Amino acid sequence: MKTDCHTRQGFSLVELMVAMGIGLFLSGAVLSVYLAQSRSYTSTTSQAAIQNAENAISALVTPVVRSTGFNGCTTLTQALSHLNDGGPAPLGTQGALASMIVGYDAAGTAGSGSALTIAQANAANDPSVGDWSPSLESTLAGKVSTGSDVLVVLGATPNSSPVGVISIPSGSTTIALQSTTGLVAGQYGIVSDCLKASIFQLTAVSQGSPGTISHTLGSGALAKSADALAVNYPAGAQFVPLQQTAFYVAHGQGDQSVLMRAIFSAGVWDVQPLVPGVESMQVLYGLGTGGIVNRYVAASAVTDWSHIVAVRLGFLVQGQAGSGATGSTALSQFSVLGTTITVPSDGRLRHVFEMTINLRNAA
């Protein structure tokens, strides 16, 4: 049986073009919805990450800064130095300033009216100590990002408690304590009897309850042949382990800079990444007396660090690439504690987080 060829017809060119047009339209609509949802998801995820970062900053930084200056039952002005290795400030300046906090102000970030430009996200660290005022502590050279302030505090080791002194034999460099749990050679400590105090570095630890710690012999004007600490401490005095901690922003892994915590021990800084996604840290210091702040100033304006009673910290926290507004060629600006920070238009969501911490043990 013959089939009529005229009954076997396909799509005409016009029909194919219409079908392709409809298909492209539908594909474009689906792609548009997908991209919008993807941007929304990235933005939501970054907002959550930024919030988590801010919570982490508050939880990890606040306790350390608030306990600055805790050294048992004495005041800062009663502390004497018996360090065999003073190290960086404030440890290295105990005899002169009797301060347990010091800061370094990044160039161009001295508070109200100042300006800072960040050329790229997660830039390399700055090796020049002259880019801070006062000049950055040399042991931190090359560890800090350009434009990040540096805060260094000295206080009781977190989660530690004062330990009773059993005995300090006359002329000995060994102190018997009720417990030496958690103490290690190289860390610092302070012994006090509420009238005076001595800060020193532990050179040896005998673990136990009770146990002993050792230190090198005092020297110079404070030296006294009858006592290695140059002053006498009776049984019942307190020993408190000390920790010198620095906070700053530095180059991190991947595409985000990191808030760092560095702990000074045995003559070197143990640098630990603390919170990723922190692009800048700015610090102002509250000058005052009796725990009452008279004014906040940048580190470059502080002449006596023993008068600091509070610290105000500001952070610029960044999200993932593409989590913010796109398509703009203009640079974005943020105000962090009075410093205008200009960042590249790299499609990142950013947020300013500020907090004020009162120093519980301010003089």
Number of Cβ within 10 Å of residue 329's Cβ equals 5
pLDDT at 288 exceeding the cut of 80: yes
pTM of the model: 0.83
pLDDT at 245 exceeding the cut of 70: yes
What is the domain extent for residue 328? 49-71+99-153+243-358
Query: Which residues make beta-bridge pairs with 356?
Result: 312
pLDDT at 248 exceeding the cut of 60: yes
Peptide bond into 210 cis (omega under 30): yes
- 280-299 burial, b if ≥16 CB within 10 A, otherwise e? bbbbbbbbbeeeebeebbbb
SS3 5: helix
Query: Which residues make beta-bridge pairs with 247?
Result: 151, 261
Per-residue pLDDT band for 8 (boundaries 50, 70, 90) equals low
Residue 320 lies in a domain: yes
Separation between Cα atoms, residue 301 and residue 307, nearest integer Å: 12
Residue 316 lies in a domain: yes
Tens digit of each residue's pLDDT (9 = 90 or more) over 150-174: 999 998 888 888 999 998 887 778 8
Please give the pLDDT value at position 216: 76
Separation between Cα atoms, residue 254 and residue 271, nearest integer Å: 18
Per-residue pLDDT band for 193 (boundaries 50, 70, 90) equals confident
Please give the pLDDT value at position 166: 93
Residue 114 lies in a domain: yes
Please give the pLDDT value at position 96: 47
Please give the pLDDT value at position 30: 73
pLDDT at 102 exceeding the cut of 90: yes
Residue 214 lies in a domain: no
- End-to-end CA separation in angstroms for the chain: 112
Q: Could you give the number of structural domains in the chain? A: 1
Question: Of 326 and 343, which is predicted with more confidence?
Answer: 343
Residue 255 lies in a domain: yes
Residue 164 lies in a domain: no
CB 248 within 8 A of CB 315: no
Per-residue pLDDT band for 311 (boundaries 50, 70, 90) equals very high
Number of Cβ within 10 Å of residue 63's Cβ equals 13
Nearest to 269 by CA among 254, 247, 249: 247
Nearest to 183 by CA among 100, 262, 239, 101: 239
Residue 9 lies in a domain: no
Residue 197 lies in a domain: no
Four-CA torsion 295, 54, 125, 296, nearest 10 degrees: 0
Cα angle 143-203-206, degrees, rounded to a multiple of 5: 125
Separation between Cα atoms, residue 102 and residue 302, nearest integer Å: 9
Stretch 281-288: mean pLDDT: 94
Least confident residue range of 70-79, 125-134, 285-294, 308-317: 70-79
